[in-house]
C-alpha cells in the first residue's frame, strides 16, 4: 500500500524557515517512474503547487515561490524535504505531499495519484 505522511511545525513566526518532511512507503524514491510533489492550500482557497522532485534529482519549482523553496530527498530514509525561507502569515496553509508518476512518451500526463492527509502550518507573530 502506498502512503505518504507529512510532518512539520504547527506554528511559526514570520521570517522563520519552514521545514516540512514527507515520509513515503510502498514505493521507492529511487524508482525512475515516480516523483514526489509538494502542494498547499490556504484556508478557503485553491490548491497551489509548490515543487516536485524525481528520482534523478530533477526538480521544478513554482515560479512565484522558487526563490524561497528548496526540495530535496533522502532515498535511504524514504523522505522528501521542502524548506521555505522567510515565512509570512500568507504562508498559513495545509501542506500536502503527493506521489506524481513521471510522464512518458506513451502517457504524457502528470497527475498526483496518492496524497498525504496534509499538515497544517500557521504563521503568526
Q: How far is the CB of 11 from other proteins (least distance, A)?
A: 19
Q: How far is the CB of 20 from other proteins (least distance, A)?
A: 16
Q: Which residues contact residue 92 at a Cβ distance below 8 angstroms, ignoring those fewer than 6 apart?
A: 42, 43, 121, 122, 123, 124
| Chain CA centroid to CA 1, Å | 20
Instruction: Give whichever of 16 and 65 is closer to other proteins, judged by the CB atom.
Output: 65
Where do contacts with other proteins occur on this chain (CB under 8 A)? 37, 45-49, 62-63, 96, 98, 107, 109-118
Instruction: Give whichever of 16 and 48 is closer to other proteins, judged by the CB atom.
Output: 48
Q: How far is the CB of 118 from other proteins (least distance, A)?
A: 7
- Taking the C-alpha atoms of residue 45 and residue 18, their distance in angstroms, rounded to an integer, is 20
Q: How far is the CB of 62 from other proteins (least distance, A)?
A: 7
- Taking the C-alpha atoms of residue 36 and residue 111, their distance in angstroms, rounded to an integer, is 11
Instruction: Give whichever of 16 and 60 is closer to other proteins, judged by the CB atom.
Output: 60
Instruction: Give whichever of 81 and 114 is closer to other proteins, judged by the CB atom.
Output: 114
Amino acid at each position: 500500500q502506498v502512503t505518504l505522511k507529512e510532518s512539520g511545525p504547527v506554528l511559526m513566526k514570520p521570517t522563520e524557515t519552514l521545514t516540512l518532511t514527507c515520509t513515503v512507503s510502498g514505493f521507492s524514491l529511487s524508482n525512475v517512474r515516480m516523483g514526489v510533489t509538494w502542494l498547499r492550500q490556504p484556508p478557503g482557497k485553491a490548491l497551489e503547487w509548490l515543487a516536485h522532485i524525481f528520482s534523478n534529482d530533477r526538480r521544478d519549482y513554482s515560479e512565484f515561490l522558487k526563490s524561497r523553496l528548496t526540495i530535496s530527498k533522502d532515498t535511504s530514509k524514504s523522505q522528501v524535504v521542502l524548506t521555505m525561507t522567510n515565512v509570512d502569515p500568507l504562508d498559513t496553509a495545509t501542506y500536502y505531499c503527493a506521489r506524481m508518476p513521471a510522464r512518458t512518451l506513451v502517457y504524457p500526463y502528470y497527475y498526483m495519484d496518492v496524497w498525504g492527509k496534509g499538515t497544517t502550518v500557521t504563521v503568526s507573530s
